[in-house]
């Protein structure tokens, strides 16, 4: 192995990949949330449909889509490799262990939370992304594919709304640990800035996930 | 004895202790009732009492690591009631006293659990993986010659303090034992940053970070998840800041050193 592959297959190198891709995926969440806020516009979904049409056809967005996919792939792959390594690092478990005395629940269950998010992601992509890109969706009043209707109809089903709310709760806990943890892994700690990063990360995690969770609840209860 | 409490009532305890004949034998938890333990005893003295009982009965005494019994050597270990070095923070097992337990309590005692720390016998684990990591770069090479004057190299007090804080690591392995991933990052980070901060250590900082992390990975320790369990259970309070510094040192070294082969 040369130095490059050696670096990024070391435990620290893989963690650095986890942190960079994790923060990149956080930036995606911001864009995704801001765009989706158009669902609340009182125009029967016309603006949202134009926006989703743009997201599906703009060449820059389509290129970034591939970068985004790679971000997910590396994040999930390294999580898988590291989790497997971590399991083999302790072949015999303790008979009695009290981890809650020394660490938070979310910091110890990033893999579990990530798996919940992955399952959600697959269902979410199938329902919206897949149908928007490859499905046959009828046009709205302006002749644009009416993805808005798909959203409204999806969120009439209680189990679908529940899935979204549970997944967003999992994402919130994943981010509460993950956001500040990424900075620690990148070595970006400082007496002046670390308290801000931790507070910002907490607020970011809660607000972003709350923003996403409001959408299915809004359409379930007010439509 | 000075400091002892004449009113302290002796305690009866039930111990559940990991017993394992040798590295290749399977082990199991064995229950031992124990009567009349003074709250003034240290945890290891309590085990000494049990071992004398076992010797009198002609049974094999429980093997456990210990040396100075003053909390400075890093030899004692033990995972007590689900915690590395027991329930008290900032305490090694030898400095843990029985007054922190109560009459009638059941206490579980297990060895450090990690693939890199195989059990030798009972509660003793082989921590030579730490020695091999140290040998990979946890030192400063010094040329022979005249003894340099003290304080010849100026070092700011704040840096000296931070380096000293990292240097207080006694290498007991509680960080590995407490970590859900059995990661040695806190230990390695203390050793790397202690030397990287000082001028004498800066000359070898790149090869040190590269080689010590490589050895850490070879030994089979897990990766860091930043849970903070290690620092919370560390008997000498090594800070998580050291892990951030190790991450900086390692990536900086990997990206800028002349070493292209590995």
Look at A11 and B216 and tell me if their CB atoms are within 8 Å: yes
Residue B12: CB partners within 8 Å, gap ≥ 6?
B33, B34, B35, B36, B37, B103, B104
Look at A86 and B81 and tell me if their CB atoms are within 8 Å: no
Alpha carbon distance, N-terminus to C-terminus of chain B: 59
Find out whether B178 and B84 touch, Cβ atoms under 8 Å.
yes
| Closest approach of B148 to chain A, Cα-based (Å) | 34
C-alpha to C-alpha distance for A64 and A70, rounded to whole angstroms? 10
Q: Tokens at residue A8, please?
A: 């990024």
Residue B247: CB partners within 8 Å, gap ≥ 6?
A12, A15, A16, A184, A185, A186, A187
Is B131's pLDDT higher than 80?
A: yes
Is A162's pLDDT higher than 90?
A: yes
pLDDT value of residue A87: 97
Is B6's pLDDT higher than 80?
A: no
Q: pLDDT-derived band of residue A149, with 50, 70 and 90 as boundaries? A: very high
- In a 13 Å sphere around the CA of B65, the CA atoms on its Cβ side amount to 24
* b/e code A139-168 from CB counts within 10 Å (16+ = b): ebeeebbbbbebbbebbeeeebbebbbebb
ipTM at complex level: 0.93
Find out whether B124 and B63 touch, Cβ atoms under 8 Å.
yes
Three-state secondary structure of chain A: CCHHHHHHHCHHHHHHHHHHHHHHHHHHHHHHHHHHHHHHCCCCCHHHHHHHHHHHHCHHHHHHHHHHHHHHHHHHHHHHHHHHHHHHCCCCCCCCCCHHHCCCHHHHCHHHHHHHHHHHHHHHHHHHHHHHHHCCCCECCCCCECHHHHHHHHCCCHHHHHHHHHHHHHHHHHHHHHHHHHHHHCCCCCCCCHHHHHHHHHHHHHHHHHHHHHHHHHHHHHC
Look at A96 and B227 and tell me if their CB atoms are within 8 Å: no
Sheet holding B28-37, edge to edge: B28-37, B11-19, B106-110, B79-80, B83-84
Q: Which domains does chain B have, with CATH numbers?
A: 11-120 (3.10.20.30), 127-140+153-256 (1.10.1060.10)
Q: pLDDT-derived band of residue A4, with 50, 70 and 90 as boundaries? A: very high
> Please, what is the average pLDDT of chain A?
96
C-alpha to C-alpha distance for A53 and A72, rounded to whole angstroms? 23
Residue of B136, B222, B241, B246 to mutate for A, most A C-beta atoms under 10 A: B222
> Please, what is the average pLDDT of chain B?
95
Residue with tokens 């967003």: A168
C-alpha to C-alpha distance for B86 and B105, rounded to whole angstroms? 14
C-alpha to C-alpha distance for B189 and B249, rounded to whole angstroms? 9
Is B22's pLDDT higher than 60?
A: yes
Torsion angle defined by CA atoms of residues B23, B25, B28 and B33, in that order, rounded to the nearest 10 degrees? -80
Q: Tokens at residue B222, please?
A: 């897990």
Look at B222 and A85 and tell me if their CB atoms are within 8 Å: yes
What is the share, in percent, of chain B residues with pLDDT greater than 70? 97
| Closest approach of B15 to chain A, Cα-based (Å) | 13
Q: Which of A1, A89, A187 sits opposite B221 (nearest CB)?
A: A89
Residue range A185-208, pLDDT digits in tens: 999 999 999 999 999 999 999 999
What is the share, in percent, of chain A residues with pLDDT greater than 90? 95
Is B97's pLDDT higher than 90?
A: yes
How long, in residues, is chain B? 262
pLDDT value of residue A135: 85
Pairing of strands B119-121, B124-125: antiparallel
Torsion angle defined by CA atoms of residues A153, A158, A161 and A166, in that order, rounded to the nearest 10 degrees? -160
* Residue B222 DSSP label: B
Find out whether B109 and B195 touch, Cβ atoms under 8 Å.
no
Is B4's pLDDT higher than 90?
A: no
Is A73's pLDDT higher than 80?
A: yes
* Complete DSSP assignment for B45-86: HHHHHHHHHHHHTTPPPPP---SSSSSSS-----EETTEET-
Look at A85 and B223 and tell me if their CB atoms are within 8 Å: yes
pLDDT value of residue B1: 46
Is B7's pLDDT higher than 70?
A: no
Give chain A's largest Cα–Cα span.
65
Residue range A117-126, pLDDT digits in tens: 999 999 999 9
Find out whether B248 and B196 touch, Cβ atoms under 8 Å.
no
Residue range A79-104, pLDDT digits in tens: 999 999 999 999 999 999 999 999 99
pLDDT value of residue B122: 98
Residue with tokens 């993805």: A147
C-alpha to C-alpha distance for B167 and B175, rounded to whole angstroms? 15
pLDDT value of residue B148: 81
What is the share, in percent, of chain B residues with pLDDT greater than 90? 90
Residue range A42-69, pLDDT digits in tens: 999 999 999 999 999 999 999 999 999 9
C-alpha to C-alpha distance for B216 and B206, rounded to whole angstroms? 16
Q: Tokens at residue A48, please?
A: 């949202």
Residue range B164-185, pLDDT digits in tens: 999 999 999 999 999 999 999 9
Lowest mean pLDDT across A14-18, B44-48, B189-193, B255-259: B255-259
Q: Which of A7, A12, A110 sits opposite B225 (nearest CB)?
A: A110
Look at A181 and B261 and tell me if their CB atoms are within 8 Å: no
Taking any CB pair shorter than 8 Å as contact, residues of chain A touching chain B are 1-3, 6-7, 10-16, 82, 85-86, 88-99, 101-104, 107-108, 110, 177, 181, 184-189
* Domain residue ranges in chain A: 10-89+109-222
pLDDT value of residue B3: 54
Look at B260 and A85 and tell me if their CB atoms are within 8 Å: no
Environment class of A186 (CB within 10 Å of its CB; exposed 0-12, middle 13-18, buried 19+): middle
Rg (C-alpha) for chain B, rounded Å, is 21
Residue A60: CB partners within 8 Å, gap ≥ 6?
none
């Amino acid at each position: 192995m040369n130095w490059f592959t050696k670096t990024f297959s070391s435990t620290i190198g893989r963690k650095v990949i986890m942190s960079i891709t994790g923060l990149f995926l956080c930036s995606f969440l911001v864009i995704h949330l801001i765009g989706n806020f158009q669902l609340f516009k009182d125009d029967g979904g016309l603006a949202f449909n134009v926006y989703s049409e743009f997201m599906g056809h703009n060449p820059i967005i389509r290129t970034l889509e591939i970068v985004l996919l790679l971000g997910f792939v590396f994040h999930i792959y390294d999580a898988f490799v590291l989790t497997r390594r971590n399991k083999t690092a302790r072949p015999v478990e303790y008979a009695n262990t009290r981890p809650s005395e020394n660490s938070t629940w979310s910091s110890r269950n990033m893999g579990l939370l990530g798996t919940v998010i992955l399952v959600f992601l697959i269902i979410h992509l199938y329902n919206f992304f897949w149908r928007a890109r490859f499905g046959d969706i009828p046009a709205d009043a302006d002749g644009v594919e009416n993805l808005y209707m798909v959203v409204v109809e999806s969120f009439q089903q209680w189990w679908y709304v529940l899935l979204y709310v549970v997944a967003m709760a999992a994402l919130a806990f994943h981010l509460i640990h993950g956001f500040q943890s990424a900075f620690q892994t990148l070595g970006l700690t400082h007496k002046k800035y670390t308290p801000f990063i931790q507070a910002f990360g907490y607020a970011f995690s809660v607000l972003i996930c709350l923003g996403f969770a409001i959408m299915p609840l809004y359409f379930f209860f007010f439509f | 004895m000075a400091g002892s409490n004449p009113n302290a009532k002796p305690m009866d305890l039930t111990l559940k202790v990991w017993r394992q004949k040798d590295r290749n034998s399977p082990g199991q938890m064995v229950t031992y009732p124990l009567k009349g333990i003074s709250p003034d005893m240290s945890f290891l003295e309590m085990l000494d009492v049990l071992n004398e009982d076992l010797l009198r009965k002609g049974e094999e005494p429980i093997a456990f690591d210990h040396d100075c019994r003053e909390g400075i050597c890093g030899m004692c270990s033990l995972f007590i009631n689900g915690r590395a070095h027991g329930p008290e923070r900032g305490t090694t097992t030898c400095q843990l006293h029985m007054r922190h337990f109560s009459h009638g309590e059941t206490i579980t005692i297990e060895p450090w659990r990690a693939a890199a720390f195989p059990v030798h016998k009972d509660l003793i684990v082989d921590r030579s993986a730490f020695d091999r990591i140290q040998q990979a770069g946890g030192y400063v090479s010094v040329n022979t010659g005249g003894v340099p004057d003290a304080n010849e190299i100026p070092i700011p007090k704040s840096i000296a303090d931070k380096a000293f804080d990292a240097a207080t690591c006694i290498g007991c392995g509680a960080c590995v034992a407490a970590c859900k991933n059995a990661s040695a990052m806190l230990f390695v980070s203390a050793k790397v940053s202690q030397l990287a901060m000082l001028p004498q250590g800066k000359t070898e900082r790149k090869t040190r970070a590269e080689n010590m992390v490589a050895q850490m990975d070879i030994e089979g320790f897990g990766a860091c998840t930043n849970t903070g369990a290690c620092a919370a259970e560390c008997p000498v309070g090594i800070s998580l800041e050291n892990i951030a510094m190790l991450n900086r040192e390692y990536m900086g070294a990997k990206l800028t050193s002349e070493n292209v082969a590995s």
